[in-house]
Structures are given as structure tokens and as C-alpha cells.
């Protein structure tokens, strides 16, 4: 079964202080490590880039925040979907069509942020029938407040988000576990 590595929204916008405290500061380095191994196998890589139409958004194409971080910069022959305007990489893009037409049945999801675009894409991937892996150490999120103004730190949010996805929409594992499972060395 063909595989694809999906890297979601690893963009400069998430370096902005407006987001607050983040967990897993090594997420991008971890993604880069996996990306190198994946490329060595010649497997499909798909970069997802969030796009906002609002000129004030960090994700507007005229802002530096729109750019993909250098650590995971796409190669010329890799797919870059730049028309994702909502949380799911499957909505408003040709991601599903591309995966199906290329007979890709297994997807490995990484990126930013766990609670938003990563989890929404993971849910849809599972619902669409793809064999989905979500890498716990290759994604990160930020702390947030709930409707009662109760603050939850980023690590708690990340852990609970992963728990809601595991064995329901995806298999949540670490990069090292995936490397061993897919014999990536």
C-alpha cells in the first residue's frame, strides 16, 4: 500500500507571540528528521499551507507568516496545497482526489496545531477510510481557555486531543515507533 507524509501548516505564522505558550518545541525538528527518511525512501510528501484572504491575518500570502518554515521546506517535486482556508486539509483542496488517484491508502499526519488543523484533518482522513497515523511528537499546540475562562496548558490540550483521536480516527504513535513499524532506517 502506498504511503504519503502530510505536513500541515508548518508556517512562520505559528512563531508569533499572539498564540501564547506552546508544547513540543521540537516538533519541527522531529518532522524534518522524518521528512529526510521519507525522502530517502522516495515516498510521497504533501505539504499543506493555510491561506487566509484577510490582509490582517498572519496566514495571508503577502505576510511572512504564510511561508513554510525552512526546516521542512518543500522540494521542487513535492506537492504543496496552498488553498486550505479551513481546518481540514480535505476541504477546498484536491487532497482526497490526489491520494485516491495515486492509490495512496496510508497517510502519516504531522504539523501544527494538534487541536485545530491536525485533528480536523486526522478525523476526516479516518472517516474517508485512509489508514491514518498521527505522530504525537511531530505536532504541537498552544494553551487555551475554555468557555468558562479556565486556562489549560498546551501539554494538557495536546495530550487530550491525541487521546480523542487514537484508535477512533488514527493510530497515534511517535516518530520512532513509526520508523520501526515502516522500517524507515
Render pLDDT for 18-31 as a digit per residue (tens, 0 to 9): 999 999 999 999 99
Question: Can you give the residue ranges of every domain in the chain?
Answer: 2-180
| In the chain, % of residues over pLDDT 70 | 100
Which CATH code of 3.10.290.10, 1.20.120.1730, 3.40.50.850, 3.40.50.720 fits the domain covering 2-180? 3.40.50.850
CB count within 10 Å of CB 63 equals: 18
Per-residue pLDDT band for 1 (boundaries 50, 70, 90) equals confident
Render pLDDT for 48-81 as a digit per residue (tens, 0 to 9): 999 999 999 999 999 999 999 999 999 999 999 9
Render pLDDT for 79-95 as a digit per residue (tens, 0 to 9): 999 999 999 999 999 99
Q: How far apart are CA 125 and CA 114, in angstroms?
A: 15
Find the farthest-apart pair of alpha carbons in the chain and give their distance in angstroms, rounded. Answer: 48
Please give the model's pTM, rounded to 2 decimal places: 0.97
Mean pLDDT, residues 145-173? 98
Three cell numbers written together for 34: 522524518
Amino acid at each position: 500500500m502506498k504511503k504519503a507524509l502530510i505536513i500541515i501548516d508548518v508556517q512562520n505564522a505559528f512563531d508569533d507571540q499572539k498564540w501564547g505558550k506552546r508544547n513540543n518545541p521540537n516538533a519541527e525538528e522531529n518532522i524534518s528528521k522524518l521528512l529526510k527518511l521519507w525522502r530517502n525512501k522516495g515516498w510521497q510528501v504533501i505539504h499543506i499551507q493555510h491561506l487566509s484572504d484577510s490582509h490582517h491575518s498572519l496566514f495571508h500570502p503577502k505576510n511572512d507568516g504564510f511561508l513554510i518554515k525552512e526546516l521542512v521546506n518543500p522540494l521542487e517535486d513535492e506537492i504543496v496545497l496552498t488553498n486550505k482556508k479551513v481546518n481540514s486539509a480535505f476541504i477546498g483542496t484536491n487532497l482526497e482526489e490526489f491520494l485516491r488517484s495515486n492509490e495512496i491508502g496510508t497517510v502519516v499526519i504531522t504539523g501544527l496545531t494538534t487541536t485545530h488543523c491536525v485533528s480536523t484533518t486526522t478525523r476526516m482522513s479516518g472517516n474517508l477510510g485512509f489508514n491514518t497515523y498521527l505522530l504525537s511528537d511531530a505536532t504541537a499546540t498552544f494553551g487555551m481557555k475554555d468557555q468558562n475562562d479556565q486556562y489549560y496548558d498546551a501539554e494538557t490540550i495536546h495530550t487530550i486531543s491525541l487521546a480523542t483521536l487514537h484508535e477512533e480516527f488514527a493510530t497515534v504513535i511517535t516518530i520512532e515507533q513509526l520508523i520501526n513499524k515502516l522500517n524507515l532506517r
